[in-house]
Amino acid sequence: MKFSYVYILQSEARRETFYTGRTDDLQARLQKHNAGEVTHTAKFRPWKIKTAIAFTDKEQAVKFECYLKTSSGRAFAKKRL
């Protein structure tokens, strides 16, 4: 079974800085963030995975990622994830 992951990263350099994304290969994506290959996260390296949620339905993962990037989604993640 193939999974799609929605993840929240936390910067180890700036602990108040987070990044939310989606991928089908969580470890490879974390390596890209920490190698500086992702423009939005390069200056806050290194990163660690704070939360990762696996979905069997890619469409649901995309929707959840979009929700987490809204103001109410960020509040939910801060309080619950």
Q: What is the pTM of this model?
A: 0.95
Quick one: pLDDT at residue 5?
A: 98
Task: Report CA torsion sign: 53, 57, 61, 63.
Answer: negative
Alpha carbon distance 62, 37 (integer Å): 22
Mean pLDDT of the chain: 97
- pLDDT tens-digit readout, 26-57: 999 999 999 999 999 999 999 999 999 999 99
Amino acid identity, position 6: V
Which structural domains are found in the chain, ordered by start? 4-80 (3.40.1440.10)
